Amino acid sequence: MSWIRSWSCALPRSGRRLLAAAAAFALLLLPAASQTPGRTLNVPGGYATIQAAVNAAAPGDTVQVAAGTYAESVEIAGKSALALQGAGADATTVAGTGWCGVWVHGASTGIVIRGLGVRDCTASGVVCCGAGTSLALDDCDLSGNGSGAEYRGGMCVNAGATVVITRCRVHGNGCHGLSCGGSGTVCTVTASTFASNGGCGIWACTDAVVSATDTTAEGNAHSGMGVANRGRLILNRCSVLGSGEHGVSLCAGAVLEANGNTIALDFRLSCR
């Protein structure tokens, strides 16, 4: 019989301080690309590909991508205060031709991706990695990415990167919807949906910190949310429903705070 309830537990004071600091830092990312007014680089009107426009962009610029499907893998390396703006997640799509659709690294800071769909990449739809790298993802759709192997799915964040995810839909990916790992890695998720992914909706491990608020994980093959290997996960007003194995999976030194959530316990909270 299905059992649905609100479920809460406490996080140690040191963990709360870390999460509060991480959330405060993450809030700085969203306006970063608009702090310095810049040019608008149009694709395909001014540049034939998204990559060509990104390469030409200076701090404060916006790469405006018209509706359509773009068969390319976009790399953003060593850039700052750059916005990549689609015509809407259902209208502008990057159909990855390689291992990922968008790769943000090389200490790129204040990167904003908004109104973009990313699908059919062999590894992950979006990858953000490296200390000093920061990305805000807003109103995006990540689907059909990854082969099902570990860390291949909607989005992978690791090696000390900081990411803000808002109003995104991450669904139908081969493994986890969002996987975060590595010391210094921080992900803040708000008002987003993680559904029908082949692993967990959200997976945090190896000292990564993930905070999710007003977010839904539904119908994921393993767990709605999972945390392991000293990872930290904080859930506020989230819904975890209809997962294949566990509502929330905890193991190997996991740290969890959950307040005001609805978690369907068809399965169980687990440690394995």
SS3 21: helix
Residues in CB range of 161: below 8 A, 6 or more apart: 104, 105, 128, 129, 130, 131, 133, 134, 135, 185, 186
Please work out, in degrees rounded to the nearest 5, the angle formed at the alpha carbon of residue 226 by the alpha carbons of 74 and 14: 100
Amino acid at residue number 172: G
Please work out, in degrees rounded to the nearest 5, the angle formed at the alpha carbon of residue 174 by the alpha carbons of 171 and 177: 45
- Identify the H or E element spanning 247: strand 246-251
What is the end-to-end Cα distance of the chain in Å, rounded?
23
State which residues of the chain have pLDDT below 70: 1-36, 148-151, 265-272
Is beta strand 255-264 parallel, antiparallel or unpaired with respect to 4-9?
A: antiparallel
Q: Is residue 154 a contact partner of residue 128, using CB atoms and an 8 Å limit?
A: no
Q: Give pLDDT, residue 36.
A: 53
Structure tokens at 5: 């309830």
Q: Give pLDDT, residue 232.
A: 95
Give the chain's domains with CATH numbers: 4-264 (2.160.20)
Peptide bond into 59 cis (omega under 30): no
DSSP state for residue 16 in the 8-state scheme: H
Q: Give pLDDT, residue 251.
A: 84
CA distance 214 to 174: 24
Is beta strand 178-181 parallel, antiparallel or unpaired with respect to 155-158?
A: parallel
CA distance 52 to 36: 21
271 to 80, 145, 194, 202, 227: CA distances (angstroms): 41, 28, 22, 16, 10
SS3 78: coil
Which pLDDT tens digit goes with each residue over 85-101? 999 999 999 997 888 99
CA distance 75 to 103: 5
What is the 3 state secondary structure string of 89-114?
Answer: CCCEEEECCCCEEEEEECCCECEEEE
Q: Give pLDDT, residue 160.
A: 96
Structure tokens at 218: 């539904």
Amino acid at residue number 125: G
